Amino acid sequence: MKPETSTAGWGVEGEGRHSEAQRRMLNAVCGDLAKQIDWHGCRMDKDDWRHFLCAVATKAKFVPGWSSGEGDAGFVCLGKSSLKTTKSEMKTAINIGIDIGDRPSDQGIKSRPVLWCDAVLLGMGLNPNDYR
C-alpha cells in the first residue's frame, strides 16, 4: 500500500497546528502499530508510538540523560509535544508510521506488515472490504 494513495484530510501541509483529521489518523496508525509491531524487541503502546513518530518527524534532539550513579543514564528526547506539531510535521509522522507498518523489514524488524484497521485504510483512500 502506498500512503500517498489518498490523504483524506490528513495530507495537508503548512506551518499551522495540525488538523483534527490528522490527529485521528495518527492515533489510528499508532494503535495498529502498538498491537502488531515490536520496535527492535521493545513493545510500545499507542502513546509511545505517537511520541516516537512525532520525535522523528520534528527531528527531535537526543541528549545523554541524568546519571544517579546507579547505572546507565540512557538518553532523553528533547522534542515538542505532539499537540504542537504543524500540519507538515504531522503528515510526515503519519507517513513514517504507515511506512514502518507496511515494510517493517526495511527497519530491521522481523514482523509481518501491519493489518490496518478500517480507519487507516479509509484514510488512505482504500476500501476495507478489499482487505478482508
Tens-digit pLDDT profile for residues 45-64? 999 999 999 999 999 888 88
CA distance 61 to 47: 19
**Gyration radius of the chain's alpha carbons:** 16
Confidence check: pLDDT of 1 > 60? no
In this structure, the number of other CB atoms found within 10 A of the CB of residue 89 comes to 22
pLDDT tens digits, one per residue of 26-50:
999 999 999 999 999 999 999 999 9
The region that residue 88 occupies, defined by phi over 0 for left and psi between -120 and 50 for alpha, beta otherwise, is: alpha
Residue ranges of the domains in the chain? 3-56+83-131
Considering only residues 18 and 103, tell me which one the structure prediction assigns the higher pLDDT.
Answer: 103
The three-state (H, E, C) secondary structure of 19-48, written as one string: CHHHHHHHHHHHHHHHHHCEECCEECCHHH
The pLDDT > 70 percentage for the chain reads 93
